[in-house]
């Protein structure tokens, strides 16, 4: 059988920046099993590969890294929605509805921007894990917290964010649930905050742009800055922009996306 598969750069409008994801659309969930999905994700060797197939009034959406299935992924959801509209699978005025491991997620198109409706993932203060400061090479923590997915660290200034050079072997030995969000207030008038995200369990341990991390970043900076409409910049090598608007127990994430590759998967 053959399947079309797309590579999309998410949270950017420029090719070869933002966060790349593969999107594969299946007509029926019984066509391929989880083992096949995992093997294809390994073959694509991107941060995430998203699989879509029709379910109820929308689509079942599953996310796989080259190693495992994920609970929540922002950039691959953005990429999936982008492909549904770009390929005219959905009319551009129709809401995309995704049934996922993290519940129902929706996406809407607003001109060149896609709005994702995600669950908020607020953080609670916690003790600094042993050796975390050593592993990150950054001792100036202003705040340390965690949620069900990640540890969350605020540092004093933007310069510290750019200078972080983690010891990923040590981070991996600390056995975090998923990863580490590190953030600071932005010194640029263009953005409210900046961040980086590290997942020491992956072969590529720094994620270029992490939509799901902004489900924690949004509520945190909303309280800190007393501001509901926020713009974040993820300061990875590729870089990307995420607009954030916390609403009750949800977070609206806004991003752009661009298709860079379309091919046929022979399997």
Active-site residues, by number, are 48
Q: How far apart are CA 170 and CA 257, in angstroms?
A: 34
φ, ψ of residue 171 to 5 degrees: the values are: -60, -45
Residue with tokens 């400061």: 133
Cβ atoms of residues 24 and 62 within 8 Å: no
Distance CA 41, CA 34 (A): 10
Cα torsion at 120, 254, 71, 103 (round to 10°)?
70
**What CA–CA distance (Å, rounded) separates 223 from 246?**
10
Neighbours of 53 (CB within 10 A): 17
Alpha carbon distance 96, 90 (integer Å): 8
Measure the CA–CA gap between 264 and 6, rounded to whole angstroms: 9
How far is 237 from 54, CA to CA, in rounded Å?
A: 35
* Partners of 210 in the β-ladder: none
38: part of which helix (H) or strand (E)? Answer: helix 34-44
Q: For residue 223, what is the enclosing H or E element?
A: helix 214-225
């Amino acid at each position: 059988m053959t399947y079309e598969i797309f590579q999309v750069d998410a949270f950017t409008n420029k090719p070869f920046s933002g966060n790349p994801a593969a999107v594969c659309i299946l007509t029926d969930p019984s066509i391929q099993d989880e083992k096949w999905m995992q093997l294809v994700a390994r073959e694509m060797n991107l941060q995430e590969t998203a699989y879509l197939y029709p379910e109820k009034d929308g689509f079942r959406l599953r996310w796989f890294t080259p190693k495992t299935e994920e609970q929540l992924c922002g950039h691959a959801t953005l990429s999936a929605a982008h492909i549904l509209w770009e390929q005219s699978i959905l009319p551009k005025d129709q809401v995309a509805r995704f049934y996922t491991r993290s519940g129902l997620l929706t996406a809407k198109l607003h001109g060149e921007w896609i709005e994702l409706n995600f669950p908020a993932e607020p953080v609670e203060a916690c003790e600094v894990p042993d050796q975390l400061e050593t592993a990150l090479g950054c001792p100036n923590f202003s705040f340390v917290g965690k949620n069900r997915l990640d540890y969350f660290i605020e540092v004093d200034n933007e310069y510290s964010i750019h200078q972080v050079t983690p010891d990923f072997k040590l981070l991996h030995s600390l056995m975090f649930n998923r990863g580490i969000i590190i953030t600071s207030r932005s010194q640029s008038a263009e953005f409210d905050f900046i961040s980086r995200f590290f997942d020491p369990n992956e072969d590529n341990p720094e994620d270029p742009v992490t939509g799901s991390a902004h489900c924690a970043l949004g509520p945190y900076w909303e309280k800190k800055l007393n501001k509901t409409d926020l713009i974040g910049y993820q300061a990875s090598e590729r870089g990307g922009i995420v607009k954030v608007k916390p609403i009750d127990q949800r977070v609206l994430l806004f991003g752009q996306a661009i298709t860079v590759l379309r091919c046929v998967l022979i399997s």
